[in-house]
Amino acid sequence: MSARDGHLWLLPEPAAEAFATRHGGAGLLGPEERAHLDRLRGAAARRRFLGGRVLARYALSARSGRPLDTWRVRAGADGRPEPEPAVAGLRFNLSHTDGMIACLVAAGGTCGVDVERAEAGPDAVRHLPRHFAPPERAALALLPEGELPARVSAYWVLKEAYLKAVGTGLRRRLAGFSFSPPAAPPIRLTDPLRPEAENADWHFELLSPAPGFVLAAAVQGGRGGRIHRTLITP
């Protein structure tokens, strides 16, 4: 695998509890992570959080060869989790929704991932596009009504993945940057806050990791690379 490639790890939620237990469970977590886990209410939220943190360590170990129990996770300056020790420039990002946990690992640049249930519901189709950039709204206006839910979902997860990668989250306006139509890859980013060459250095993939889900992955410095996928099975 090229150092510029990303690797996406997918953990279906029904397999998360057994997976976490098999690889060390809550015993792998640092004090801040354990405190966060203890604050969560509801078995599903706890299962997804713990499954994601164990999955991150599993993915980092698979990429680096380090033992799984040697990783620590700290909150960076922007609040996103970062791995310690810093080995080979590895970064990771996590996302989960009801039924699916995803972890993206990349080297040499930052990365972001977002997974959601597909497709966008009627309220989202009505209200989300007003927050998108003008070129995206114009592209949506040309689509048949039946294609809108999938396209709105695609723009949403792409924007979430990118904002998670750059560390701003939804503190930044969704209309402040745009993507080329995702139905015609490669997907191109236009972010006026960054030089054109830097925009071109991002690699984006949009996929359905399982029926009923939509996922976007963003890798900085991934131009010309690809995103590998591994599905964890029970």
User: CA-CA distance, 96 to 45, in Å (whole number)?
Assistant: 10
Any idea which residue has 């995206």 for tokens? Answer: 136
The pLDDT of residue 222 is 63
The pLDDT of residue 13 is 97
Name the more confident of 224 and 233.
233
The pLDDT of residue 215 is 98
Tell me the percentage of the chain whose pLDDT exceeds 90. Answer: 83
User: CA-CA distance, 23 to 187, in Å (whole number)?
Assistant: 36
Tell me the percentage of the chain whose pLDDT exceeds 70. Answer: 96
The pLDDT of residue 79 is 81
The pLDDT of residue 3 is 47
User: CA-CA distance, 5 to 166, in Å (whole number)?
Assistant: 18
CA distances for 223 relative to 4, 37, 104, angstroms: 8, 36, 16
The pLDDT of residue 180 is 98
The pLDDT of residue 225 is 65
Average pLDDT over residues 93-117: 95
Asked whether residue 99 carries a pLDDT value surpassing 80, the answer given is yes
Domains of the chain: 6-231 (3.90.470.20)
Max distance between CA atoms of the chain, in angstroms, equals: 52
Q: Would the CA dihedral through 193, 196, 198, 204 be positive or negative?
A: positive
pLDDT digits (tens, 9 = 90+) for 2-23: 546 799 999 999 999 999 999 9
Mean pLDDT of the chain: 93
Asked whether residue 44 carries a pLDDT value surpassing 50, the answer given is yes
Sequence-separated (6 or more) residues with CB below 8 Å from residue 47: 13, 16, 17, 20
Whether 104 contacts 56, CB under 8 Å: no
Asked whether residue 171 carries a pLDDT value surpassing 90, the answer given is no
Whether 29 contacts 72, CB under 8 Å: no
pLDDT digits (tens, 9 = 90+) for 199-214: 999 999 999 999 999 9
Asked whether residue 48 carries a pLDDT value surpassing 90, the answer given is yes
Average pLDDT over residues 53-71: 96
User: CA-CA distance, 165 to 99, in Å (whole number)?
Assistant: 23
Whether 97 contacts 209, CB under 8 Å: no
Average pLDDT over residues 33-46: 96
- Residue 147's CB: how many other CB atoms inside 10 A? 13
Whether 163 contacts 170, CB under 8 Å: yes
pLDDT band of residue 130 (cuts 50, 70, 90) is: very high
pLDDT band of residue 75 (cuts 50, 70, 90) is: confident
Average pLDDT over residues 44-57: 98
- Look at residues 73, 71, 63 and name the one whose alpha carbon lies nearest to residue 3: 63
Average pLDDT over residues 150-156: 97
What SS3 class is residue 232? Answer: coil
Whether 218 contacts 166, CB under 8 Å: no
List helix spans (H) across 84-232.
Answer: 122-127, 134-141, 148-166, 196-200
User: CA-CA distance, 105 to 48, in Å (whole number)?
Assistant: 18
